[in-house]
Amino acid sequence: MTDETPPILSGKAYDTPSAFTPESLLREARRQKGAEIEPVPAVCLLDPDGDMVRRLLAEGRARPHEGWVCYHTDLYVFEAEGITFGIVACAVGSAFAVLVAEELFVSGCQLLISITSAGQLAAPQEPPYFVLIDRAVRDEGTSYHYQPPARHSDAPENLPGALDGAFDGLAVPVVRGAAWTTDAPFRETQANIDAMTAEGYLAVEMEAAALYAFARARDRRVVCFAHVTNQMGQVEGDFEKGEAEGTHDALALAARVAAVMWPDLPDPSVPSPGT
């Protein structure tokens, strides 16, 4: 009899290492490009919308990281609050975000911050605001390759709590709560939206569940924020992030996270490339 279990839910061998690794990919990319190993900054950002990178480049604050050999992305470096950050733009969706995260962490990253725009579900206030995501519904595929099936991916243990009080005084509020991660944004039916809203989920986005499953499986420090800016196009004048596309607020948020977490990073002044 044929096994009708969907492949996404079976045969994953979670304790078995992958035959294809980010280390081997980057090794061959460096060979092809004639690049030397150059560690990335200890603190890196994922900027799925690309607005932060575009703003930093327009203001002359960011420079390319010459040692980043990822085939799919560019890594930029900038300074804020005395800390050097790496930032990658437009890694949208669970699979792409985790691909980049895997490569960053074997290249010297010690803390990864993801700040993605998101649709509003349960409404603590009017957009824009940020949600510090402490768990995410796994309505995508990538997380099932890192963790056994379950409803949620949880943030790395103790990480959200370490940020209590860190955002006092920021121009845009930060609330803590759960999100819905989907990999099919144009299949967010009204029935889906109503159900997730009724269960108290604050936002819908595309990366957090997979990034948290990866973080738990690999023992990595990852923190995800939803920048709630829209109601999924259901009202006029939607998708407004605020001044400068919300980039100043997002960068201020990232700087606060880094300032709190920096002292606890392992050897933050000497990141290891791991390759």
Give the confidence band of 126 by pLDDT, cuts at 50, 70, 90: confident
**What's the rounded mean pLDDT across residues 30-57?**
96
pTM for this one?
0.92
16 φ, ψ to 5°?
-100, 130
Q: Is the dihedral of CA 242, 97, 106, 60 positive or negative?
A: negative
- Quote the tokens at residue 81: 């609050």
pLDDT tens-digit series, residues 199-236: 999 999 999 999 999 999 999 999 999 999 876 544 44
Pick from 25, 8, 32: nearest CA to 183: 8
- Assign a CATH topology to domain 24-233+243-264: Rossmann fold (3.40.50)
pLDDT higher than threshold 90 for residue 87 = yes
